[in-house]
Amino acid sequence: MALQINSYDRDRHTEGLVDLFNQQTADEPYIVPLSAERFAQWVAGKTYFDAAGLLVAEQGGQVGGWVHGCVVPYTEGAVLSGPAYPRIEMLLFREDLPAVGKQLVAESTKWLAARSTETITAIHPHKGYPFYRAFWLGGEPQCPLTLTHVQMALASSGYEQTHQDVMMVCEMTEQPTVCRADVDAEFCRGPSTLKHEVASESWAGFAPQTITAMIDETWVGHIGYVVVPQAAERLGAAQVNIYTLGVAEMYRRRGLASALVSRVQAAGYEQGAKFSSVCTELWNVAGQVTYAKFGYRPYCIVNGRTLRESAQESK
Amino acid sequence: MGLSIQGYEQSDVEPMLDLFNQQTAHVRHVARLTSRMFAELVEAKSYFDPAGVLVARSGGDVVGWIHACVAPGSESWQDPKQSVARIRMLVYRPEDPRVGYALVERATAWLEAGGAKTMLAWHAQSGYPFYRGLWFGGESMCPATMPHLHMAFEVGGYKVTQQSVFFTANMADEPAVIEPEIAVEFNEHPAEMAHEPMRQSWVGFEPRVTGAHVDGQYVGGISWVIQTHLAEKLGAPCMNIWGLGVSEKYQRNRIASALISRAMASSYKMGARSASVGTQIWNTAAHMTYTRMGYRPLCIMMGRQRKVESQESGS
């Protein structure tokens, strides 16, 4: 059966694309299932969504895979800066069709290389998270190593692993206890300040929150989190994901990080979350030990890949 | 509760194996170990050094263990006189990452004290002196599905330098034998052990080879083994392919598929009802071949390496 790869057409492809997403992620409770409406709101509705970069592979009228390439600026940070970066933000295909995965990556890489000379990344945290944020393993979506065939397609196409995090998760069976810090800090909770349009749009459909720790009206730390009520469809209850945590250097080792994590757990629980997750670097001892203390356990490794320079040149 | 790490004693074997079996209870391609198996398949090897087995205790309980060794290469092409410093096993509970960090640190110090400048962790590069056939087939590496092990190695300075994919296939029905496109004679026999470390690496197993010959000339072969110990978890023994090669001149004649199908059919007659194989993550040709024969990617396996920085580069 001949394989056809075409750019996304809403009327023709949405149903098959969403079905494949749901089938491929069925065993992954920290990924929220998609519907056509959710896809429109969370993905295709963004101003920087370019349908030409979403390539759909069809075989015998069935969607066998799809890849989402895009050229989008850095989503994090205080100001919109730097160029738009070429990246593959999603790749899904049936595991019995490895050739489809390879071909999708090749086509997407070609499409991206024609639009930017910057290094191409794949599901990498380095330049932020323009798509799939919150509903794909939390606020910092990367590629889980459990999607083995997706990793194979990227690796065998010249995308080298250049980043590894560990996703840690915790089940909150009872109201979490709020920890006091060793210093007298004031904690303020509110919607996260999203300082530019790309940052705001990256969260489309979700409401990220921040708890800030202040001493004498000066910032000494903060934690960013998002409650994902839709996670209940697979987990049985909402989840709260921590997507950033920072404490001023001079205030470290005074229990502020623990105070912030415990406040997120308590806030999430109040909003119906019975599960919590966070990604931290694989080498980050302090992060891993802190989260372990609060009941988080290593759940899976997620990674980001970068197209090898020689592979990029050959495109 | 204080953590202590001490050298291994015979009396540690039972609690060590209890922990091993508890931590791998859900991992279908890891055999359940008994103290008799440990004595016969691990301790009895001439290159086994009890000083390299370190046991972590907390409150009198064994909470982790690590097996470091300086052992020769196990493959036919490796120099049996050249010993390599490596870690071949790490077991601890994910709840306390500090146990993993401490075990890796102590094992690394032990290997360094022996003069090692480069150390491998669960790496394929210098073969498989221990746990072969017991831990993810005949080419044991560290599965991505056990993230806490990778956290400990990453923190200990062991970087990923190899990635493989572990494929599995169901053999509920007798596999069909595939014929090559040219006239080939096949024969099956016990695998030849090229040197003593190779023989010892396979202690307790009966590895076999199916060879392909054209006009009396050897043109390819497949090495495989029946893993009887996996029957407890899988319901029947599992066949593992640990080597496959076809001379370049004879490739693309379906000889590889013919060899795989013969190994599967033969192992089916010997009671195996599933099969497994590890292949490099970039090896598209192998992915396609195994996928065509019903294999599906199960998980990514990683090998890690740590290099002691020279004084010049470290200053």
At residue A195 the predicted structure's pLDDT band, cuts being 50, 70 and 90, is confident
Residues of A in contact with B291 (CB under 8 A): 95-96, 98
Q: Searching chain B, which residue's CA lies closest to the CA of residue A149?
A: B297
pLDDT at A77: 76
Tokens at B100, concatenated = 């993993």
- pLDDT of residue A49 exceeding 70: yes
Q: Is the pLDDT of residue A57 over 90?
A: yes
User: Domains of chain B (ranges plus CATH)?
Assistant: 3-164+302-309 (3.40.630.30), 170-299 (3.40.630.30)
Does the beta-carbon distance from B282 to A289 stay under 8 Å?
A: no
Which two structure tokens, joined as six digits, stand for B27? 């991992």
Identify whether the C-beta of residue A172 lies closer than 8 Å to the C-beta of residue A275: yes
- What pLDDT does B1 receive? 60
The pLDDT assigned to A312 comes to 62
Are B98 and A102 within 8 A, CB to CB? Answer: no
User: Which of A28-42, A69-83, A262-276 is the least confident region?
Assistant: A69-83
pLDDT at residue A101 above 70? Answer: yes
Q: Do B283 and A156 touch (CB under 8 A)?
A: yes
Contact B300 A289 (CB under 8 A): no
Report the first-to-last Cα separation within chain B, whole angstroms. 37
Average pLDDT over residues A144-148: 97
**DSSP type of residue A117:** -
Our CA-based measurement puts residue A282 at a distance from the nearest CA of chain B, in whole angstroms, of 5
State residue B137's pLDDT score: 98
* Strand partners for B237: none
Give the least confident one: A5-9, A34-38, A51-55, A195-199: A195-199
Query: Residue A29 phi/psi, 5° resolution?
Result: -65, -20
Using the beta-carbon criterion (under 8 Å), do A156 and B287 form an inter-chain contact?
yes
**Residues in contact with B315: Cβ distance below 8 Å, sequence separation at least 6, in sequence order:** none
Chain B neighbors of A148, CB-CB under 8 A: 165, 297-300
pLDDT for B5: 97
Residue in A with minimal Cα distance to B99: A289
pLDDT digits (tens, 9 = 90+) for A238-248: 999 999 999 99
CB contact under 8 A, A145 and B284: no
Chain B interface disruption, residue of A137, A277, A282, most B CBs within 10 A: A282
How far apart CA B56 and CA A89 sit, in angstroms, is 42
pTM for the structure as a whole: 0.94
Report helix, strand or coil for A237.
Answer: coil
Q: Which residue of A has its CA nearest to B156?
A: A283
* A152 to B281: CB separation less than 8 angstroms, yes or no: yes
Q: Which among A102, A148, A167 is the nearest to B299, CB-wise?
A: A148
User: How far does the CA of residue A169 sit from the closest CA of chain B (Å)?
Assistant: 11
CB burial readout A116-136, b (16+ within 10 A) else e:
eebbbbbbbbebbbbbbbbbb
Mean pLDDT by 10 residues, chain B (315 residues): 90 97 98 98 97 96 97 94 96 97 98 97 96 97 98 98 97 97 98 97 98 97 98 98 97 96 98 98 94 97 89 42
> What is the structure's pLDDT at B293?
96
Which pLDDT does position A315 carry in this prediction? Answer: 46
Unique residue bearing structure tokens 């994090």: A76
What is the reported pLDDT for B27? 97
Express each pLDDT in A162-176 by its tens digit: 999 999 999 999 999
**Domains of chain A, start order:** 3-163+304-314 (3.40.630.30), 171-302 (3.40.630.30)
Judged by CB atoms closer than 8 Å, whether chains meet at A145 and B299 is answered as yes
